Amino acid sequence: MNENLIWTELARLPIAKLQDVLLARFVGRDEATKMGLPPATATLLATAISEITRNVIQHAGGAGEIQIGRIAEGNRIGLRIVVTDKGKGIEHPERFLEDARSGAHGSGLLGVRRLADRFDLQTAPGAGTTITVDFWPKAVAK
C-alpha cells in the first residue's frame, strides 16, 4: 500500500440483508458526488459496491460491513471501499478469480477488479474476506 496515501473514513455500514446493499450503494454514490467525482466514476463505484456487498450476503455465511472513505495522494482525491466479513472465506482465491474469467462463479468480483483502479482481496478459509477497491477520477474537470 502507498504510504503517502491519506485515508479519511466517511461512512461505515453493516451488511446483512439486501436493503443494506441498496443503502451502501446510495451512500457510496452520494459521497462520490459530494467529492465532485465524475458521474462515470460514481456509477462504477456504485456497481462495485453492489457486487461486493451482495457477495457478502449470498456467499460469506455471515454478516459484514462496508467502509467508505476518501483517499488523497498529492493533489489526487478518490474513494476507497473496504468490505469485510467474518464468513467462511474463499478457498483458493486465485482459482476463484480464474474461474470467473470463463463466466463461472465469481464473475462479480472479476468485474469489480476490472472496474476499480485498485483491487485487493484478502481471504482464507474460515477467516473471512476483506476486499479493498480504490476509484480515482479518470479526468479532472476544470
Which of the 8 DSSP states describes residue 89?
-
User: Residue 65 is part of which domain span?
Assistant: 6-135
Examine residue 140 and state whether it is found in any structural domain, yes or no.
Answer: no
What's the number of domains the chain is made of? 1
CB contact at 8 A, 13 and 66: yes
Amino acid 105: pLDDT: 44
Strand 118-123 to 129-135 pairing: antiparallel
Q: Tell me what the pLDDT averaged over the chain comes to.
A: 87
* Dihedral of alpha carbons 40, 41, 44, 46, sign: negative
pLDDT tens digits for range 25-51: 999 999 999 998 889 889 999 999 999
- 3-state SS, one letter per residue, for 11-23: EEEEECCHHHHHH
Is residue 1 a part of any domain in this protein?
no
What pLDDT does 96 receive? 58
| Average pLDDT of the segment spanning 78-89 | 94
Query: Does residue 141 carry a pLDDT above 60?
Result: no
140, pLDDT greater than 80: no
Q: 55-69: per-residue pLDDT in tens?
A: 999 988 879 999 999
Provide φ and ψ at 123, rounded to 5°: -155, 155
